Amino acid sequence: MIWYWRVFCGITQREFLRFIQQRSRFLSALVRPLLWLIVFAAGFRAVLGVSIMPPYGTYITYQVYIAPGLVAMILLFNAMQSALSMVYDREMGSMKLLLTSPAPRSFLLISKLVATALVALPQVYGFLLIALWVEVDPPLIGYLAVLPACLLVALMLGAIGLLISSFIKQLENFAGVMNFVIFPMFFLSSALYPLWKMQEAGPLLYTICAYNPFTYGVELIRFSLYGELSLSNLVIVTGLTLVFTLLATLSFDPQRGQKPKR
């Protein structure tokens, strides 16, 4: 058991060192959602009105409504960037070297998923602290309740990214594939608009949003951030996390896309 813990700590330390060395990664993780929160919210409020009613029943400003969606966006981009690093490590052969460890492959991959999720948490709380300046002030209990919610959603999104990276052979193909994953998942969800607004736009659009895993992650974070527990979203996100993690660990091939030795 102690040996497994040391392996997990080594993988986590490697992910945090990589994150610290990439300072622009932290800045971009904050700038992107802050632009949505400050700049684009002004235009969206003109469409939706000054205040809207979220699922928990109280009227709030649009900036307060989209803040949980932007937190989920941070987790989404962090997960996809981790999947990019996975493709790079596999192409360079370092991932194959890691998998030569006596630890089971499933344990190593799950440890990497957990380490990636832990790296995303400082980015989330950095965004929430800056969001206080634009009147996004959830209750104090929300800052604590959102921690396990963000960790679970980060694991789900990381498993999706790992599953996608398992089928990408070359690093050059990753960016194009991600454009067909990140933006549809983000825009076709409840991150920016309530689901009832999507239903007014059309039944097909609402159906797509209802089947989008990212939607349930956003709603779980939204309820948790304001001190509420959404049991249905918790069950769905937990089930999706287990399914995607199982599929990702079974489909991962460390030799796919690896450059042949000359």
Over residues 202-232, the pLDDT tens digits come to 788 889 999 999 999 999 999 999 888 889 9
pLDDT confidence of residue 201: 77
Over residues 71-97, the pLDDT tens digits come to 999 999 888 888 777 777 666 666 666
Return d(Cα 200, Cα 48) in angstroms, integer: 12
The answer to whether 190 and 218 have CB atoms below 8 angstroms apart is yes
Over residues 139-166, the pLDDT tens digits come to 889 899 999 999 999 999 999 988 887 7
Q: How far is CA 150 from its chain centroid?
A: 8
| Domain boundaries along the sequence of the chain | 2-251
Over residues 180-201, the pLDDT tens digits come to 788 888 888 988 888 877 877 7
For the chain, percent of residues with pLDDT exceeding 90: 23
- In the block, which residue shows the tokens 């990019």? 84
The answer to whether 105 and 180 have CB atoms below 8 angstroms apart is no
Return d(Cα 262, Cα 241) in angstroms, integer: 40
